[in-house]
Structure 1
């Protein structure tokens, strides 16, 4: 019995593996810089798309390929900072602020108590 599409996908590990498997042409320099972002966006698209599990293998392959093409295209035309796939980019455009008082409180807690 041939493995299912999902079983075959579980054997893939890199963005290049996924792009090659689905026959998506890509620029290596774009993938090298954005591989995790592309895979995360692909995952997000898969989870936002209803009814994928109800498709037959051929239609599922076609639909997954479309979503991967879309995820890759997001980073051809944009940047990780603009796409905000990961939380670090979602929080204040990748910048987080910590009040000085919080730093001072943290330092005070770490200092050994004077005997």
Structure 2
């Protein structure tokens, strides 16, 4: 099981992708590393501000935030923290967030 303690030990962008078992294009991460991690830090700050003690929920948010930032940079757009946080309500994923957090993913 992924833990917050283990999350805090991550160092590189690749560590985060591997920790959450997220497939990624190494070239995109090499080129956009700083921007991806900067935006990711901004997004996860919102998650930590809203942390209610449910570590699994927070870990799901941390994973989705990385997926969201990576996909947005891959496609040329960077989201705000409010955009990502608003996609999770009451511990339930909405829309493609559910797909992103599922093992199979989705097409849309």
What TM-score does the superposition give when structure 1 sets the normalisation length?
A: 0.58
Q: Which aligned runs of 4 or more in structure 1 are off by greater than 6 angstroms?
A: none
Structure 1 distance, partners of 2:29, 2:39, is 13
- Unaligned ranges ≥5, structure 1: 84-115
**1:54 alignment partner, SS class:** coil
Provide the residue aligned with 2:15 in structure 1.
Answer: 17
Q: CA deviation at 1:55?
A: 4.3
Provide the residue aligned with 2:6 in structure 1.
Answer: 8
> Quick check: which has more Rg, 1 or 2?
1
- Unaligned ranges ≥5, structure 2: 79-108
**1:38 alignment partner, SS class:** helix
- How many residues are aligned here? 77
2:67 to 41, 66, 69: 69
Provide the residue aligned with 1:27 in structure 2.
Answer: 25
Give yes or no for contact 1:15–1:35 (8 Å, CA) kept in 2. Answer: yes
Q: CA deviation at 1:27?
A: 0.5
Structure 1 distance, partners of 2:17, 2:53, is 21
Give yes or no for contact 2:36–2:70 (8 Å, CA) kept in 1. Answer: yes
- Please report the RMSD computed on the Cα atoms of aligned residues, expressed in angstroms: 2.2
Give a deviation string over 1:15-62, Cα, whole Å, max 9, x none. Answer: 1000110111100110011111111111111123451x2141211111
